[in-house]
Amino acid sequence: MASPKVGIVMGSASDLPRLEKAIDVLKSLGVPIEVRVMSAHRTPEDVAAWAGGAAARGLKVIIAAAGGAAHLAGAIAARTLLPVIGIPLATEPFNGFDALLATVQMPPGVPVATVSAGAWGAENAALLAAQILAVADPDLRARLESDRAARAEKARAADRELHSGKPPAK
């Protein structure tokens, strides 16, 4: 089995359902992944050790998702120069706005590339991680181009159906 190129970390196992799309997208693109549950607050030493050793283990990009006071992506970014993509997740009572601010508002010097909240973010985080890898991987780039083309064709098919009077396929 190929060594993981993308690490996907979530703050709690309760986050997993919202990250399934990220896992599916990267698997479908043939990108080997490592999936972990670690918390910036509950297991901070584990996060620090994992992030500090990530580059040496061969990871190239890290995706980190958390809800609430979502410090996971930032805590990882503080320990590595690998690109870190943060996904804010919705929790009660602020529905993800808290996680968005905690993830996106990193101080200068320690960037986190924050994507959309929730499931959209999971999908885009996976695609962005693949795009970063594709800079040095022409085969992966070709698979991403096919993905974009398929999305464009789906949009055009919906337009054709709507234009012809039929309801668009879901």
Binding site for ligand RP5 (CB under 6 A): 10-12, 14-15, 39, 66-68, 89, 91
Cβ contacts of 79 within 8 Å, gap of 6 or more: 47, 48, 51, 52
Least distance to ligand RP5, CB of residue 86, Å: 11
Nearer to ligand RP5 by Cβ, of 80 and 91: the residue is 91
Length of the chain: 170
Rounded Cα–Cα distance for residues 46 and 97 (Å): 26
Least distance to ligand RP5, CB of residue 18, Å: 9
Least distance to ligand RP5, CB of residue 49, Å: 18
| Tokens standing for residue 49 | 């050790």
Nearer to ligand RP5 by Cβ, of 126 and 130: the residue is 126
94, amino acid identity: F
- Taking the alpha carbons of 161, 21, 123, 66 in that order, is the dihedral positive or negative? positive
Nearer to ligand RP5 by Cβ, of 39 and 116: the residue is 39
Nearer to ligand RP5 by Cβ, of 11 and 121: the residue is 11
| Tokens standing for residue 29 | 């693109």
